[in-house]
Every structure is written in C-alpha cells, then in structure tokens.
Amino acid sequence: MITIKNEFITAKFNTLGAELRSLIYNGREYMWQADPQWWAQTSPLMFPICGGLADDEYEFGGKTYTLKKHGYAKTSEFEVECQSDTSVTFLLKSNEESRKQFPFEYELRLIYTLVGKQLQVRNEVKNVGDDTMYFSIGSHEAYATPEGVEEYELVFPQKEKLYAFGLNGNLIGKERTLILDDADRLPLNKEYFSIDALVFPEIQSRSVILQKRDGSVAVRVEFDGFFNLMVWQKCGAPYICVEPWNGTPDFEGQGKDFTKKIGIQQVGANSTYVRTHNIEILK
C-alpha cells in the first residue's frame, strides 16, 4: 500500500491495479472498503477496454484476440515510478503476456496528485510502437454510502435529459429508458441497478456531485475529456460507483473490428494520450 497526504486528505493506493483504496477527509472514509461480501474492489482502472466485448473477442490486423471485461490493468502489478508526499506515479508497460491479449507496445501511467481537497487522477497512455494504437480507458471509483444508496442523489451543473441504456450481459441493448427529464437532480434508487449499471453516453455535463440528501456529505467528480458516464452498484450494496469512461461496452449487433468499436480511442506512434478527472471533497 502506498500513502500520500496533504493538510486535508490522506489517500492510499494498492500497487495491484494502481487502485485507489482509501480517501479520508476530516476522519471520514469516502471510498468503499472492498468488502468481498458485496464487491472486493474499490476503484479498478479499465484498460485496454471498458466494459465487455461480444464473446469476449475482438478482431485486429486479421487476428482474433480474447480480452475479458474491463481488460487486464486492474489485475496487473504496477511499479511505483516516482512518489512525493502529495503525489504518486504508477507505471505499467506492455510485455509478452499483454501482447497475447492486446498487440500494442505502450507505457501506461496513472498519476494521483493531491491539491487542496481534490485528488487529481491523470491517465497517460504512451504509444511506444510504430503504428496507431486503439484502446479504451476509464475509471470505476466506488464511494461509500453506508446509510444506503437511497439516501444519496446525483446533482448535475445543468439540466439533463438522460436516457439509460439497458445491459444484456456484456452488451448494451438497443432500448433506452428516460430516467431524467430536463432536471439537474437524480435521486438514487437501488432498483436502477437490479439488472446492472446506468449507462449515460449522451450526457452533456462535465461534472457531477454525489451528495447525501441531508447535505452532510458531498463529492464532486469532474470528468472533462470523458464522453461517457456510468453509475453502478451491486444492487443493495452500501456503495455507488461514479465512472468516467472513454469507451463503452459493445452494443448488441456490433461487429468485432476493434478499430470501428463505438467509443474507441486512438493515439499515434510515439505519442501520448492524456485524460484527467478530479475528485473533490466538498463536505
């Protein structure tokens, strides 16, 4: 476990998956503590895919590859490239084993930095190969809701008309359900998660506040640069995940060509792709 802290926040991370495991402010733990009774993770990094693929397969360069849901970064051991009192950089490099699932040469850095009451989460994907690299990347932070998720709500900075796309196993279905209509507050209901996650690929806001309805707890997640927002819990669990993604699960009927996958990202040879999202404790 790696610890960084400033005058406000203490944050702890596991080198396995470069996973944020704890975020403490004013004596309160804001992160889910990975109780295996419900879900044994806290904030897995999704790379090189977000969500699942049809049959767990994709095609690239005339070959078929197998890649499990959310990819393998979350189960990979990262090295600590550098660390200070308030920042830590984790590094994962492609290797012989990764190339069996994902045939690209890369350096993946996950950089966490504390600034005031904010944890900045920076993703850097450096393509060290000679050809364009295709991938998806996303975060999966789980916030503790010990009182029950129905005591919490999501507050957007602007009014939204949000449709939730249903999931059928790994795949996004074609049907969508109107869940928020010209409003900026979404009261959370555990029944939303009776099947799986809420998928919001059409969201306009670039941030959201998760807050307890009595106003005693509030966390803002800023995700400028990410086009998709997922909200998930295991139905009835005492946590809620707020997940900025640049990627989506496969849609039903979608082909397996990786370069044409909906939401796929790309970075040129010897170039670096950078995306940052911020977690700010308000109360």
For 146-183, the three-class secondary structure string (H helix, E strand, C coil) is CCCHHHEEEEEEEEEEEEEEEEECCEEEEEEEEEEEEE
* pLDDT band, residue 20 (cuts 50/70/90): very high
> What per-residue confidence (pLDDT) applies to 134?
98
* pLDDT band, residue 69 (cuts 50/70/90): very high
Please check the confidence at residue 157 and state whether its pLDDT lies above 90. yes
* Cβ contact 203:160 at 8 Å: yes
Q: Please give the average per-residue pLDDT across 110-132, as a whole number.
A: 98
Alpha-carbon distances of 24 from 7, 18, 44, 79, 277, rounded to whole Å: 11, 18, 18, 24, 18
> What per-residue confidence (pLDDT) applies to 165?
80
Alpha-carbon distances of 119 from 126, 156, 247, rounded to whole Å: 22, 20, 23
* Cβ contact 251:171 at 8 Å: yes
Please check the confidence at residue 154 and state whether its pLDDT lies above 90. yes
Between 236 and 14, where is the model more confident?
Answer: 14
Spatial CA neighbour of 248 closest among 197, 207, 199: 199
* pLDDT band, residue 79 (cuts 50/70/90): very high
Please check the confidence at residue 241 and state whether its pLDDT lies above 90. yes
> What per-residue confidence (pLDDT) applies to 253?
86
Please check the confidence at residue 228 and state whether its pLDDT lies above 80. yes
Task: Look at phi and psi of residue 228 and say left if phi exceeds 0, alpha if psi is from -120 to 50, else beta.
Answer: beta
What architecture is domain 2-281? Distorted Sandwich (2.70)
Q: Please give the average per-residue pLDDT across 75-87, as a whole number.
A: 98
Between 194 and 134, where is the model more confident?
Answer: 134
pTM: 0.95
Upstream peptide bond of 48 is cis (omega within 30 degrees of 0): yes
> What per-residue confidence (pLDDT) applies to 119?
98
In the chain, the percentage of residues whose pLDDT exceeds 70 is 100
Q: Please give the average per-residue pLDDT across 13-42, as a whole number.
A: 97
Q: Please give the average per-residue pLDDT across 38-48, as a whole number.
A: 97
Averaged pLDDT of the chain: 95
Please check the confidence at residue 248 and state whether its pLDDT lies above 80. yes
Please check the confidence at residue 255 and state whether its pLDDT lies above 80. yes
Please check the confidence at residue 153 and state whether its pLDDT lies above 90. yes
* pLDDT band, residue 30 (cuts 50/70/90): very high
Neighbours of 99 (CB within 10 A): 12
> What per-residue confidence (pLDDT) applies to 172?
87
Domain spans of the chain? 2-281
pLDDT in tens, 170-223: 788 878 888 899 999 999 998 888 767 888 888 999 999 999 999 999 999 999
